[in-house]
Amino acid sequence: MWICSRCQTANKEGYSQCVQCSAPRNTRRFGAGTPVSAPSVQTASPERRMQQPDGSGQEAPPPPVSRRPVAPVAMPRRAVGGFIRWVGILLAVLMPALTGFLAVIRMDVLKPVIHALFFGPQAVAPGVLGYVSYWFMALVAMLLAMVPGLALVALSRLMGLSRRGR
């Protein structure tokens, strides 16, 4: 491609004059050399103003335009953050399960501590209310144990979104 020095139009390499203003193409670069001889705009006929390229062959016609939407090519999806996602899922399941297991097997040790937190150190242990307070705190502990795993799952989702945007 070359740029006409008169009208700044981009022209193909094969043209010897500008397609917009019919100015001759200079054979020089940056002001060194002599311009190529070409007829002026006034003396050239309209047919000669748009000259074909000096090349040996003609350009191939453009491919026909299809009106149908083209289906995107299915590319194999690579799991972005897949390992982190699986580690997060495992943590989100195993840590609350371990917390619940410890709450069951250590109930005799932890229940007086939880009861003292809710009702004071000198309170008499009520039957059903003591169990409800203990299992409520065990549920809160299991939900808190789930947080690191869920954070890793969210991180893997964010990694996937940032790479799709690139």
User: What per-residue confidence (pLDDT) applies to 151?
Assistant: 94
- Where exactly are the structural domains of the chain? 1-52, 82-164
Question: Which run of H or E residues covers position 153?
Answer: helix 127-164
Helix runs in 17-126, H state only: 46-49, 82-105, 107-119
User: What per-residue confidence (pLDDT) applies to 106?
Assistant: 92
User: What per-residue confidence (pLDDT) applies to 33?
Assistant: 45
Mean model confidence pLDDT for the chain:
76
For 123-146, what is each residue's pLDDT tens digit?
A: 775 678 888 888 999 999 999 999
Identify whether the C-beta of residue 23 lies closer than 8 Å to the C-beta of residue 15: no
**pLDDT classification of 93: cutoffs 50, 70, 90:** very high
The Cα 50–Cα 113 span in angstroms is 95
Percent of the chain with pLDDT over 90: 24
**pLDDT classification of 103: cutoffs 50, 70, 90:** very high
For 45-73, what is each residue's pLDDT tens digit?
A: 555 555 555 555 566 666 666 666 666 66
The Cα 161–Cα 133 span in angstroms is 42
Q: Given a cut of 60, is residue 20 above it in pLDDT?
A: yes
Percent of the chain with pLDDT over 70: 63
- Shortest CA distance to 54 belongs to which of 35, 38, 65? 38
pTM attached to this predicted model: 0.47
User: What per-residue confidence (pLDDT) applies to 3?
Assistant: 85
Q: What mean pLDDT comes out for the span 66-84? A: 66
**pLDDT classification of 148: cutoffs 50, 70, 90:** very high
Instruction: Write down how long the chain is.
Output: 166
User: What per-residue confidence (pLDDT) applies to 59?
Assistant: 66
- Torsion region of 2: left, alpha or beta (phi above 0 gives left; psi -120 to 50 gives alpha): beta
Cα separations in angstroms, 144 against 99, 103, 106, 152: 10, 14, 18, 14
